[in-house]
Amino acid sequence: MNKIEHIGIAVKDLEVSNTLFASLFGKPHYKVEEVPSEGVKTSFFKTGPNKIELLQATNPTSSIAKFIAKKGEGIHHIAFAVTDIKAEISRLKKEGFTVLNETPKKGADNKWVAFLHPKTTNGVLIELCQEITASEK
């Protein structure tokens, strides 16, 4: 696993939170992207070398809607960049972690992603992500 790629924050209202985080960071988000397969709308901010992803549910069965209903708004996941997501999934499975996506799926911001169940990671939802290359698009 490499560096932290981004931190995901679950929010109720993306527009309200975009304004809030823009004043916090002193600059606006650089991108908004909807991921219909996940039932989420996301926005991204850069703070120095760091990236923050805000996630709003677009339907009531979205994992973000369930998360907010259970825990309220707040930090939802930590994403780590990996060089070879498939190799990392097999390695982590062998180590005993519960991988929620056996096959990487397309996430926001041009990434292959896979999640680890928080029950095997001390309550922290972990996302693995690998840049989608031009030939894979």
Interface with Zn ion (CB under 5 A): 8, 53, 79, 127
Distance CA 135, CA 111 (A): 13
Q: Which is nearer to Zn ion, 24 or 75 (CB)?
A: 75
In single-letter form, the type of residue at position 23 comes to S
Three-state SS at 118? helix
Least spacing, CB of residue 109 vs Zn ion, in Å: 8
Least spacing, CB of residue 5 vs Zn ion, in Å: 8
Distance CA 92, CA 120 (A): 11
DSSP β-bridge partners for residue 52: 7, 45
Q: Which is nearer to Zn ion, 89 or 94 (CB)?
A: 89
Least spacing, CB of residue 6 vs Zn ion, in Å: 6
Q: Which is nearer to Zn ion, 96 or 132 (CB)?
A: 132
Tell me how far apart the 2 most distant CA atoms of the chain are, in Å.
44
Least spacing, CB of residue 16 vs Zn ion, in Å: 20
Q: Which is nearer to Zn ion, 53 or 88 (CB)?
A: 53
Tokens, residue 78: 């930590």
DSSP β-bridge partners for residue 74: 10
